[in-house]
Structure 1
Amino acid sequence: MLVDTQPATHQPVPASPEVREQWVESQLIGVLMDSAMRTLGIALVGMPVMVYLLWGEVSDVALLIWVACAIGVLLYRYRIIGVYRLLFDSVEGPSRIVFINRYKWTWAAVGVFWGATIGLTFREASLPTQYFCLLLVLGHGLMSLSSFTAYMPILKVYVNSLVLSMLAGLIVALAENWGDGTNTRLILSMVLLLAVYWYMLLSAGVRLYEVHRASYELQFSNQELIDSLTQQTRASLRAVATKNRFLSSAAHDLRQPVHALSLYADWLATEPEMARDISPRILQSTRAINELFDSLFDLTRIDAGNYKVRLQNVDVQQLFTDLVMQFEPVAAAKNLKLRSRSPELTVWSDPVVLRRILGNLVSNALRHTQNGGVLISARRRDDLLMFEVWDTGVGIARQHQQAIFQEFFRVSQHQGTEDSLGLGLTIVSKLATLMGYQLALNSEEGRGSVFRVILPAFTQGPPREALPSIPNPMNGKKPT
């Protein structure tokens, strides 16, 4: 089982400009579609008024064609509104943009049909009828400022279609009345006024659109800030909970050796003749206190980023010899065998960090082993160099194999581990992450464990010779 030793991060990731743009666009489309039914209702009210004004003054066939086309487009738009509310009203993002681009032409069609009434009236209708129809069409265009400015592409499509169809009607009327000075000047004046109207309508629409857009961009930024603050608050609460657990566990672990040290000191004060028996116990308690403080200081320095790595050539055989010499008394006290196997090998690493990693693994193995022994070995597999610490101890149940790398974690049912401070494997995990190493663990409850520190090729420096395979010390069977 490969153990992930990378620390969990909960930093909020800012949204990309593409995500921000898509969210804002989808919200603006939502505002547009929310007003779609209202604009449809206004069109349904305005169409009978237009028919009433034009009835009897223009060609019946032309008027009926106009009415049929307008009703067809309005019914189709009613269907589109239903599709949007059914499929896209509760969905945000690119799907809304795809939807609006697919049906954008319907707004253009509505603009064309309303603008086409100018061509109908100028050809045949009376002047009062032309006047009222023009007011109705221009008013319909002004209403677009409140209905379509939420989404600029639709506003431009509608206004351009409306004004261009009106201009087309005026140009046809101008061609038919060319030579009639009064009508020509009137139509040219209307063309000029319509161009001004077109410009003012688009200018006002752009300003209103920018207001809509700025509002949703601000809403997105506020939501992003809220999410960031929420994550930071949760991270702070987790940090406080971790710190409280850290201090509580440290105080608990520190209390035991300090209390024992106090009892031994009182005992020594009252019975000085027992110094030979009491001194080893005082020494044991002092070592336990020093071990705890060393572990706490290591964790603090690593978490604060103050742990300085100094890379140099490390003689692996000498390192193993030093580790065996350091822990041999501990193994002898428990009648355990402590062995090491490694060919002549030099790696590029920090000797202090590497020794700390392997030393904590050896210490952990000896602490949880009652019979048999512990083996420190090194070997290669492809381009990977692996340091291994084997033991024939109590093993680790699968449900605990991730948790053992947490601060102060101890498996309560393990016997003979009362002196464990629960920090050794945490330091191993953090130092391995610091060096770019990987940790792997294989363990079988009741049969033993093997911890592997894997040095990828880029962390080793040039290898000097291949490493032979190392036999399994655990009765010839490797734990699974």
Structure 2
Amino acid sequence: MLVDTQPATHQHMPASPELREQWVTSQLIGALMDNLVPALIAATLSLPVLVFLMLDPFNRVEVGVWVGVMLATLVFRYRLIGIYRLQYDSVEGPQRMAFIQRYQWSWWVVAAVWGGSIFLTYRQADIATQFLCGLFVMGHSLLTLTAFSAYLPVFRRYVHALMLSVLLSLVVNTVVAADAPDALRNGGVLVALLLMFWWLLISAGKRLHLVYRSSFELQFSNQELIDSLTQQTRASRRAVATKNRFLASAAHDLRQPVHALSLYADWLASEPEMGREIAPRILQSTRAINELFDSLFDLTRIDAGNYKVRLQHVEVQKLLADLVMQFEPVAAAKSLKLRTRASPITIWADPVVLRRILGNLVSNALRHTYKGGVLLGLRRREDLLVFEVWDTGVGIEREHQQAIFQEFFRVSQHQGTEDSLGLGLTIVSKLTMLMGYQLSLSSKANKGSVFRVMLPSFTQKEALETHHHVDAPNTVPMTDD
């Protein structure tokens, strides 16, 4: 059973350019659909006036067909707004882009129909009617500048379709009336003016689109800044909470050995002849204080990036023998067996860091084990070298298996933590990360635990014997999940 050995951290990261572009595009589409409503209302109100101007006894059929098509497009556009409001207004990203791509043909159709009004009036009606219909189409073109320029692809398609429809209307009607006086000259002038207006409309649309885009990009950046400040505020609050927890834990855990040391000193001052009995107790209290401060200093150096790593050849069996010599008195005092099992192998590592990692794990195992023993060993797994620390202790509940690596965390129902700030496993976690090792935990409540430190195969420099497995204590009935 492998568990994440690091506490979850939520650090705000800047959004990727793809995510930023996706969000901005989504907002531009939203602005397009919001602007579509007033554009539709204006088109609906201007339609009766335009029909009145175009209506003539000789073209009622053509105007009727045009009006029918125009009404159908208006109804469809209103329905399109309803679909967007119900299904896409509350979503963002690819879904909105898919919506626009699905219905983009409707913008072409509407633009072409509007341009068709020129076909029904140019050189078909009197000069005043032609002029007024031309003003209506020009006004509609300017309205699209503000309504559709938010989303540039739609704006371009709409303007191109509208201008192309008007251009075709001018050319066809000019060719039909080519024999009329000044027909070609007037038609040519109008086409030239139309092309100039077309270019100006596209240029103005690009500039207005940039205003929209800049506004949304600024909004996105501001939101990122707000999120970052929120994350920093939360981090500051967590730091304050950690500091308060540290002060409470340090005050509690340092008070006991310091108080005991004071009592022993007073006792020694009043009864000097008891020095032989008091001295070991003073030494024990002093060691407890030193261990607490060593843990704090180690944690500070790691967090500050001042922990120096010095790689060299490390004989595993000698390292394990030194750890046994260090912790054998602790195990003997609790009537526990402390065993090691490893092949004679030399690895490439920092002996101080590796000893600190394994020492903290062994110390933690002994602290929470009351019968049975602790086994420290090395086994090889394919391309990994795995140090394992087995114990037959109280075990760790599943809900605590990630939290135990956090600073100052101690399971409340566990005993034997009076002399610990709860930093040992935190230091192990940080040192393994520093060295690029992997750390895992398997544990069952009231059965025992096994901590594994996995080293990459390149750390192995020389193997003097063949593969040798580590046997777990018989009293720990667990397997790797």
Which TM-score band (shorter chain)? over 0.9
- Relative to structure 1, the CA distance from residue 160 to residue 318 in structure 2 (aligned partners, 3 Å threshold; closer, same or farther) is same
Secondary structure of the 1:135 match is helix
1:227 alignment partner AA: D
Partner of 1:184: 184
Matches of 2:435 and 2:463, distance apart in 1:
18
Cα distance between partner residues in 2 of 1:58 and 1:246: 94
- Is the Cα–Cα contact under 8 Å of residues 441 and 449 in structure 1 kept in the other structure? yes
Distance 1:334 1:165, change over 3 A: closer
Aligned to 1:24: 24
Counterpart in the other structure of 1:85? 85
2:53 corresponds to: 53
Separation in 2, partners of 1:103, 1:462? 69
RMSD: 2.2
**3-state DSSP class of the match of 1:15?**
coil
Other-structure match for 1:198 = 198
The worse-fitting range, judged by mean Cα deviation, of 276-285 and 444-453 is: 444-453
**Greater mean deviation of Cα atoms: 408-417 or 244-253:** 408-417
1:29-48 alignment to 2 at 5 Å? 29-48=29-48
1:81-480 correspondence runs (5 A): 81-461=81-461, 463-475=463-475, 477-478=477-478
Per the TM alignment, residue 298 of structure 1 is displaced from its structure 2 partner at its CA by: 0.7
Quick one: which amino acid aligns to residue 105 of structure 1? W
Q: Distance in 2 between matches of 1:99 and 1:420?
A: 61
SS of corresponding position for 2:340? strand
Q: CA deviation at 1:462?
A: 5.6
Does the 8 Å contact 1:58/1:121 carry over to 2?
Answer: no
Please state whether the residue corresponding to 2:182 is helix, strand or coil. helix
Letter in 1 for 2:94: P
Task: Verify the 8 A CA contact 1:379 1:468 in the aligned structure 2.
Answer: yes
Gaps of 5+ in 1: none
In structure 2, list runs of 5 or more residues that go unmatched. Answer: none
Deviates more, 1:87-96 or 1:238-247: 238-247
For 1:427 and 1:263, locate their aligned partners in 2 and report how far apart those are by CA, in whole Å.
Answer: 32
Instruction: Measure the CA separation in 1 of the matches of 2:313 and 2:219.
Output: 56
Classify the secondary structure of the residue corresponding to 1:442.
strand
CA offset digits 1:192-249 (Å, max 9, x no partner) = 2222222222222222221111111111111111112211221222122112212321
Give the C-alpha shift of residue 299 in structure 1: 0.7
Q: Distance in 2 between matches of 1:415 and 1:89?
A: 57
Offset at 1:430?
Answer: 1.6
* CA shift in 2, pair 1:79/1:479, >3 Å: closer
Counterpart code for 2:41? G
CA distance in 2, matches of 1:259, 1:368: 24
1:278 offset after TM fit, Å? Answer: 1.4
**After the TM superposition, which of the residue ranges 281-290 and 321-330 deviates more from structure 2?**
321-330
Distance 1:158 1:235 in 2: 50
Change over 3 Å in CA distance of 1:394–1:177 after alignment to 2:
closer
* 1:10 matched residue in structure 2: 10
Query: What is the CA deviation profile of residues 354-394 of structure 1, one whole-angstrom value per residue up to 9, with x for unaligned ones?
Result: 11111112222222333333322222233332222233333
* Aligned AA (1:11): Q
Higher relative contact order (CA 8 A, sep 6+): 2
Kindly tell me: are residues 56 and 290 of structure 1, through their superposed partners in 2, closer, same or farther at Cα, counting changes over 3 Å? Answer: same
How big is the shift at 1:285? 0.7
- TM-score w.r.t. length of structure 2: 0.93
CA 26–373 in structure 1, closer or farther in 2 if over 3 Å, else same = closer
**Deviation string for 1:371-422 (max 9, x for gaps)?**
3333222222333322222333333333333332222333333344433342
Q: Using the TM superposition, name which of 280-289 and 456-465 deviates more.
A: 456-465
Q: 2: CA distance between counterparts of 1:8 and 1:313?
A: 34
